[in-house]
C-alpha cells in the first residue's frame, strides 16, 4: 500500500515537472490544457484543504481532503489529491466504510482577480474498508470488515472567492468512481497561495 502511494506521488511530480517539456520538444499530445494567461502566474504551487459531507455507497459520510497544485511555466495545471471519507455509522463500527484515495489530476482552471474556478479529473489508487459478509448474533446481525485496494477515477469541481492570491474560500464537489466504494461529497475548501 505504501509503495503504491509513493509510485502515484512520483508519477504526479514527473508529469508536472518534466512531461510537458517532452511534449513541446516532440510535438506530443499535452497532458494538461493550457490555462488562462491574464490572471494565472506560471511556476506557482498552491494548497487546498477541504472538509466535506456526502455519500459513500448508500451511507451518509464525512470527508477531508488535501490538494497540492502546480502550474508550470507554460501554465499547464497539474495536481496531486488525497481524500478520506468515512460513513457516520456510530452504533456499529463493523458496518462502516472508510475510503482513502490518492491520485493525479488535471483539468480546466479559470482564475480571475478575486475568484478561481476549476474542474479536474484523473486517476487514483483507492484503499479502505467496507462491510463484508453478514454475521448473525444474539442482537440481530453484524458484518465482517473487508479491506480493498483498487483503481478509481477522481473528479472535482470548485469555485472560490479569493483575497488576491493569499487566501480563498469556497465550495467544492468531490467524487471518486471505483468498483469497491464510490463516493460523492460537497464541502468547503480553503486555498492558500492561489494561482491568481
Q: What is the pLDDT of residue 95?
A: 59
pLDDT, tens only, 32-60: 888 877 788 888 899 999 999 998 888 88
Does pLDDT of 9 surpass 60?
Answer: no
Does pLDDT of 64 surpass 60?
Answer: yes
Q: What is the pLDDT of residue 82?
A: 97
Helix (H, G, I), strand (E, B) or coil at 10: helix
Q: What is the pLDDT of residue 29?
A: 43
C-alpha cell at 77: 495545471
State how far the Cα of 192 lies from the Cα of 160, in Å rounded to an integer. Answer: 11
CB 95 within 8 A of CB 146: no
Average pLDDT, the chain: 81
CA-closest candidate to residue 157, choices 138, 176, 173: 173
pLDDT, tens only, 132-189: 666 666 665 666 678 899 999 999 999 999 987 788 999 999 999 999 999 999 999 9
pTM above 0.85, yes or no: no
Percentage with pLDDT > 70 across the chain: 73
State how far the Cα of 125 lies from the Cα of 136, in Å rounded to an integer. Answer: 33
CB 71 within 8 A of CB 44: yes
**Structural domains in the chain, sorted by start:** 2-192 (2.40.160.20)
Amino acid at each position: 500500500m505504501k509503495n503504491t502511494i509513493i509510485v502515484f506521488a512520483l508519477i504526479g511530480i514527473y508529469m508536472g515537472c518534466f512531461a510537458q517539456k517532452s511534449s513541446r520538444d516532440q510535438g506530443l499530445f499535452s497532458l494538461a490544457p493550457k490555462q488562462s494567461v491574464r490572471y494565472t502566474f506560471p511556476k506557482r504551487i498552491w494548497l487546498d484543504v477541504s472538509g466535506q459531507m456526502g455519500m459513500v455507497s448508500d451511507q451518509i459520510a464525512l470527508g477531508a481532503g488535501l490538494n497540492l497544485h502546480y502550474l508550470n511555466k507554460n501554465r499547464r495545471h497539474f495536481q496531486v489529491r488525497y481524500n478520506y471519507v468515512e460513513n457516520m455509522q456510530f452504533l456499529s463500527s463493523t458496518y462502516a466504510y472508510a475510503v482513502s484515495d490518492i491520485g493525479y489530476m488535471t483539468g480546466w482552471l479559470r482564475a480571475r482577480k478575486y475568484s478561481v474556478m476549476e474542474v479536474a479529473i484523473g486517476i487514483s489508487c483507492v484503499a479502505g474498508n467496507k462491510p463484508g459478509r453478514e454475521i448473525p448474533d444474539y442482537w440481530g446481525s453484524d458484518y465482517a470488515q473487508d479491506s480493498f485496494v483498487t483503481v478509481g477515477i477522481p473528479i472535482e469541481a470548485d469555485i472560490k472567492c479569493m483575497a488576491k492570491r493569499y487566501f480563498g474560500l469556497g465550495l467544492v464537489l468531490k467524487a471518486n468512481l471505483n468498483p469497491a466504494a464510490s463516493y460523492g461529497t460537497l464541502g468547503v475548501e480553503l486555498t492558500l497561495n492561489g494561482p491568481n
